[in-house]
């Protein structure tokens, strides 16, 4: 496994032993939390996205992962999403 790091030491790209076919690009927010993963170096069309800090409907989600969405990539039709809700104790 080979990793390419950005200026902030965040992993931007990983390549497995198969070469370019295993390249995964990732985007990070201002505090180094992953916000997308894609097979191209762009958030547009990302196959995995993450959201943080939601307080909708009483969720105490500040500083926490609150949703994840994944889309089918070529040769894979699976897609879906997960939402995470927290109480005042972070549970």
pLDDT at position 12, please?
57
Cβ neighbours of 66 (radius 10 Å): 20
* Confidence band for 1, pLDDT divided at 50, 70 and 90: very low
> Which one has a higher pLDDT value, 35 or 8?
35
Structure tokens at 64: 């926490």
- Residue whose entry in the numeric block shows the structure tokens 């070529």: 74
Q: Are 28 and 44 in contact (CB under 8 A)?
A: no
pLDDT at position 9, please?
47
Closest residue by Cα to residue 46 from 81, 10, 73: 73
pLDDT at position 15, please?
61
Q: Please write the tens of the pLDDT for every residue from 9-33.
A: 455 566 656 555 567 788 898 888 9
Q: Are 86 and 71 in contact (CB under 8 A)?
A: no
**Residues ≥6 apart with Cβ < 8 Å to 20:** none
Provide long-range contacts, Cβ within 8 A and 24+ apart, for 73-78: 73/39, 73/47
pLDDT at position 84, please?
92
79 has pLDDT over 70: yes
């Amino acid at each position: 496994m080979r990793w390419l790091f950005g200026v902030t030491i965040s992993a931007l790209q990983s390549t497995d032993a198969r070469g370019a076919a295993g390249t995964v690009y990732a985007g990070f927010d201002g505090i180094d939390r992953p916000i997308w993963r894609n097979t191209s170096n762009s958030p547009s069309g990302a196959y995995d996205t993450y959201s943080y800090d939601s307080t909708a409907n009483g969720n105490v989600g500040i500083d926490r992962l609150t949703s994840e969405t994944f889309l089918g990539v070529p040769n894979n039709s699976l897609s879906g999403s997960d939402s995470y809700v927290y109480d005042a104790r972070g549970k």
